[in-house]
Chain A
Amino acid sequence: MSLARAIETGDLTQLPSRRDEDWRWTDLRGLVRVLPAPSPAAVASPPAGPFASLDATQITVVNGRGPGRLITAAGTRQTVTLNFVATQQAGSHAARLAIEVQEGADLVLLESYEGQGADYVVQADLNITLGRGARLERIVIADDSPDAVSVSAAHVVLGEHATFAQTVLASGAKRQRLETRVSHPGGGASARLDGLYLLGDRRHADITTVVTHAGVDGATDQLVKGVVRDQARGVFQGRIVVSPGADKTDARMGHHALILSDKAEVDAKPELEIYADDVVCAHGNTVGALDEEALFYAKARGIADAEARAMLTQAFLDQVVDRIGHDGAREIARAWVARQLGAAR
Chain B
Amino acid sequence: MLSIKNLHVSVDGKSILDGLTLDIAAGEIHAVMGPNGAGKSTLSYALAGRPGYEVTAGSVTLDGEDLLGLEPNERAARGLFLSFQYPTEIPGVPALTFVRTALNAQHKARGEAEVSAPDFLRLVRGKAKALKIDFDMLKRGLNVGFSGGEKKRMEILQMSVLSPRLAILDETDSGLDIDALRIVAEGVNAMRSADRAMLVITHYQRLLDHIRPDRVHVLAGGRIVASGGPELAHDLEREGYDKYASLAA
Contact = CB atoms under 8 A, between A and B. Distances in A.
Contact of B92 (A293, A297, A316): A316
B51 A303 contact: no
Interface string B55-81: 000000000000000011101110001
A316 B206 CA distance: 40
A294 interface: yes
Interface string A307-321: 110011011101100
B71 A297 contact: no
A89 B51 CA distance: 51
A299 interface: yes
A315 B92 contact: yes
B84 A299 contact: no
B102 A305 contact: no
A33 interface: no
The range of chain B's interface size is 20 to 34
Contact of B77 (A298, A302, A307, A312): A302
Interface string B142-184: 0000000000000000100010000000000000000000000
B105 interface: yes
A315 B51 contact: no
Contacts of A298: 90, 98, 102
Interface in A257-312: 291-294, 296-305, 307-308, 311-312
Contacts of A303: 73, 101-102, 105
B55 to A, nearest CB: 16
B126 interface: no
B90 A302 contact: no
A296 B101 contact: no
Contact of A297 (B90, B105, B109): B90
A106 B81 CA distance: 53
B92 A302 contact: no
B48 interface: yes
B93 A315 contact: yes
B202 interface: no
A319 B109 contact: no
Contacts of B77: 302
Nearest to B87: A297
21 contacts: A292-B51, A294-B90, A296-B51, A296-B88, A300-B76, A301-B98, A301-B99, A301-B102, A301-B105, A301-B162, A302-B73, A302-B76, A303-B73, A303-B102, A304-B71, A305-B73, A307-B105, A315-B90, A315-B92, A316-B92, A318-B92
Closest 4 CB pairs of A and B: A315-B92, A302-B76, A301-B102, A302-B106
